[in-house]
Structure 1
Amino acid sequence: MEFIIILLLLILNGIFAMYEIALVSSSKARLETLVGKGNKRAKGVLKQLEEPEKFLSTIQIGITLIGIVSGAYGGATIADDVEPLFALIPEVAAYAKTLAMITVVAIITYLSLIIGELVPKSIALNNPERWATMLSPFMIVLTKISYPFVCLLSASTKLMNKLIGLNSGEERQMTQDELKMILHQSSEQGVIDKDETEMLRDVFRFSDKRANDLMTYRRDIVVLHPTDTPEEVLRIIHEEHFSKYLLVERGKDEIIGVVSVKDIILMMGGEQPFNLRSIARPALFIPESLYAKKVLELFKKNKNKFGVVVDEYGNTEGIITLHDLTESIFGDILEENETEEEEIVVRQDGSMLVEASMNLDDFMEAMGIMNYDDLKEEDFTTLSGLAMFLIGRVPKAGDLFSYKNLDFEVVDMDRGRVDKLLVIKKEEDE
């Protein structure tokens, strides 16, 4: 009979332990979804999460009382029943009482861990929202019964938290690393498909990128001049297929403004003389170090989709468009009349010809290299920057360098900038 009472106490302890883990492990988002589906118990759990001290105090009172009762009752009562068994053994008869007590304590401790803690908590962790909603009515009743003690413990807990500088009412904000971990786990479990996972990862990367990471470099900018004839302008438009062009005096640092193809065509179809200056709109200048998120905010504020990226001295470094920002999240989006260019071309011998302007993160992902933390703190985001960093000077054609299981060779330069790299991937482990 005594053993059955102890077993029931341990099962009750397990229920308390199960609810404790279920409550603290429950996702508010999932509970809110259940509330939206009409689950009234889920609403009760959400309310409990707003005042966790009360319910955790109830649980702790229950667990403590069960521990005291089972320990005292088991040691005093069951040990007396076990003692005669040891007394039958002559060699240990003199220590029968002590051995009986040790045996009973060991058995109760073992059962407490298995039945009262480990198994219930494992079950609760498997589906915390289910068990929290299932047990919440029981816990609400217990909380009301033990209300005076709960108030005392809750007040004491809040006081201690205040003394050590903790604000129990302040909800902890989830960090970006935690969100990334949730994303990784959701992807591994198949909750989010591969394309959605990659898109969400690009959203995190977007917040870390700057204007000079996404811009079209100065050397690749196609410009128009006020002295260009209509025939020359039309030829450039037909060859390049851009919707907007920079209008400059002589060099790319002498910017007059931005002209759109639409305005050029309208001007040509009208009666006014051909004058690119007359249709040029003021350029939106963007510091090269400005984060992509801030660039997007500037575009919204100025109702613009085209910006000129400049360095600290006002020199033109490149141009950036809303299309560039969009592609950094959604991947390559081909505009009308735009042809796709491969950044990595695999040759017959297995080597790869790679554009040096390729984003470092995209390249490492394509190469299957996940761990390159030693490079992430450096001030570059392209393969061209990687080449300069590893070589230690301005590269020149024929320069060789390596990283992990990759061998690089600079095969083409364009006005002092690395244009193309030859990459050979070795088979040995990284």
Structure 2
Amino acid sequence: MSHLLSSGAWLFVAIVSLLATGVFGAIFHSLRDLSRSALEEILKHRVDHKRASRVRRIIDDPDGHAAAVALARVVFSIISATGCLMWIVEQTSAPGTSVSVQWVWAIGGIAVTCITIWLAGTVIPQSVARHLAEPTIYGFASLVRAMYMVTAPLRLLVRGIDGAVRILAGKEEVGDVEAIQAELLDVVAEAKEEGQLDETEQQMIRAVVRFRDTTVRAIMTPRTEMEVLELTNDLGSITSMIREGGHSRIPVYEESIDRIIGVFYIKDLLRWLAGVGGSRGGKTFNLRSQLRPAIFVPESKTIRELLDEMLEKRVHIAIVLDEYGGTAGVVTLEDIVEEFFGDVQDEYEKPEDAPGAKTDEVRRVAELDARSYISDANEALEPLGLALPESEDYSTVGGYLTVALGRIPQTGERFELPAGRATMQVSVLEAEPTRLVRVRIEVAKPTESPIAIAEPAPKTIAAPETLGFAPAQR
């Protein structure tokens, strides 16, 4: 076989294949490190519309094009290695070559071949991709598209293998947007671990990434926590509520809280009290005449859409409706701001009223607001190796505990429940007759006589929301 080509021909094949390996390696890594926005900026300053069209097709399916390029990279790597080895064979098979010289050629040649292919196929391409990813894709767009077309039949095989592995791993299929979000969150987590971001910065970035998916229901104050006025309230009861609650905008209902007819602004009351020239002229206060129109939004609306609507209509408060048209809660502009910057307490809020979670990794214990969502609670419990199960039957910590026990636990109770791969011990710190308020969760310590683990009750139990469980008051 070594006589199929001459020694020089094998060397030529090895060098050409090595260059091709480097080119396809640079393209492959560039597709992985590609910045779509930077590439779009390059396209704005180019007049080659055909090439721009090819580039946009590549952007639409970067993984598919990367797989096609990876195949070419592997093929040329094999050809390059084969060429180098055959050239070494030609050098060592010459008549009169001693065994020791043959061994030196073999070991040295293989070592040089491996290092050369590593440098040309991995190190240099990675450097090119790190600094010139977008120009590389733009320059080789035609070649990338050609490889994509040639390997079309193999892409079906690749997708089949990927789907099979995904199913075996128990993972759900995610779209491009979800994949990008997950990647961004991973980068943020790594940056925090490396000390490049602090906890506050990480939370802000995570909130921005999830901004498009977070719904109004996740941030609203539920109806059980709402402070509202009834249309029949007199001036004395209104001023009393203002003093106790400290809110500047209060929803007003007629007959039932499901019939919100407007929003009462405190500054309108001040304007009425001032009157014309500082006198009300003996007029009787009429709450209906002081109301401003309320805007209503579904609880499934995203906070991005809600923010746009609030800015457009220049309002700070909206009434949230459930799927049946009833009042589900209230949401304010402050709630949206707190999604990015955390709890914002004004001069009327008491520090102890601020909900949240306190995690002590040393003692392996966490204190949670029972109205916290399961997803938020799991973030606090993650350092402890605990995870609360998610279900359509509940959405909050209090809801889960109520469903699991089949009743509303009371202050001072202690019990154990499964939490992922571990068992957690729950202590009820505060509870009311109709709902939980705050709980302590810690990793259960194995004992000879453990507390009985409570099993989830049948699904005939009332939904937690009807029992008064909901996210914390904003």
For normalisation by structure 1, the TM-score amounts to 0.69
Match of 1:41 in 2: none
Match of 2:290 in 1: 279
Q: Do the aligned residues in 2 keep the contact of 1:288 with 1:310 (CA within 8 Å)?
A: yes
Matched residues in 2 for 1:155 and 1:14: separation?
A: 20
Given the alignment of the two structures, is residue 318 of structure 1 paired with residue 319 of structure 2, yes or no? no
Matched residues in 1 for 2:151 and 2:72: separation?
A: 18
Match of 1:25 in 2: 29
Matched residues in 2 for 1:31 and 1:254: separation?
A: 47
Q: Do the aligned residues in 1 keep the contact of 2:229 with 2:252 (CA within 8 Å)?
A: yes
Structure 1 residue corresponding to 2:316, chosen from 289, 293, 305 = 305
Q: Do the aligned residues in 2 keep the contact of 1:23 with 1:128 (CA within 8 Å)?
A: yes
Superposed displacement of residue 200, structure 1: 1.4
Deviation by residue 1:22-61 (Cα, 9 ceiling, x = unmatched): 333233449949x99xxxxxxxxx9997788999999899
Unaligned runs of 5+ in 1: 37-45, 89-98, 144-149, 167-171
* Range with greater deviation from structure 2 (10-19 or 389-398): 10-19
Superposed displacement of residue 236, structure 1: 1.7
Cα distance change on mapping 1:236 and 1:406 into 2, 3 Å: same
Cα distance change on mapping 1:312 and 1:127 into 2, 3 Å: same
Deviation by residue 1:127-177 (Cα, 9 ceiling, x = unmatched): 73348799x7xxx8xx9xxxxxx97x96575254389679xxxxx775322
Matched residues in 2 for 1:129 and 1:405: separation?
A: 45
Cα distance change on mapping 1:194 and 1:418 into 2, 3 Å: closer
Cα distance change on mapping 1:344 and 1:163 into 2, 3 Å: closer
Given the alignment of the two structures, is residue 80 of structure 1 paired with residue 93 of structure 2, yes or no? yes
Amino acid at match of 2:98: L
Matched residues in 2 for 1:58 and 1:253: separation?
A: 65
Cα distance change on mapping 1:130 and 1:164 into 2, 3 Å: closer
Match of 1:330 in 2: 341
Structure 2 residue corresponding to 1:235, chosen from 236, 240, 247 = 240
Q: Do the aligned residues in 1 keep the contact of 2:28 with 2:69 (CA within 8 Å)?
A: no
Unaligned runs of 5+ in 2: 1-5, 43-51, 59-64, 158-175, 447-474
Q: Do the aligned residues in 2 keep the contact of 1:268 with 1:274 (CA within 8 Å)?
A: no
Within a 5 Å distance, the mapping from 1:259-408 to structure 2 comes to: 259-270=264-275, 271=280, 272-300=283-311, 302-340=313-351, 341-343=353-355, 354-369=368-383, 375-376=389-390, 378=392, 380-396=394-410, 400-402=414-416, 403=419, 404=422, 406-408=424-426
Structure 2 residue corresponding to 1:223, chosen from 217, 228, 234 = 228
Matched residues in 1 for 2:84 and 2:187: separation?
A: 40
For normalisation by structure 2, the TM-score amounts to 0.63
Superposed displacement of residue 71, structure 1: 4.5
Matched residues in 1 for 2:108 and 2:24: separation?
A: 24
Matched residues in 2 for 1:412 and 1:58: separation?
A: 64
Matched residues in 2 for 1:364 and 1:154: separation?
A: 44
* Structure whose alpha-carbon radius of gyration is higher: 1
The SS at the match of 1:22 is: helix
Q: Do the aligned residues in 2 keep the contact of 1:199 with 1:329 (CA within 8 Å)?
A: yes
Deviation by residue 1:214-273 (Cα, 9 ceiling, x = unmatched): 222223222223333323322221221111112123442342321111112112222453
Matched residues in 2 for 1:377 and 1:65: separation?
A: 54
Amino acid at match of 1:218: R
Deviation by residue 1:163-193 (Cα, 9 ceiling, x = unmatched): 9679xxxxx7753222222333333344544
Cα distance change on mapping 1:253 and 1:119 into 2, 3 Å: same
Q: Do the aligned residues in 1 keep the contact of 2:35 with 2:134 (CA within 8 Å)?
A: no
Given the alignment of the two structures, is residue 410 of structure 1 paired with residue 428 of structure 2, yes or no? yes
Q: Do the aligned residues in 1 keep the contact of 2:11 with 2:83 (CA within 8 Å)?
A: no
Amino acid at match of 1:78: Q
Superposed displacement of residue 4, structure 1: 11
Amino acid at match of 2:369: E
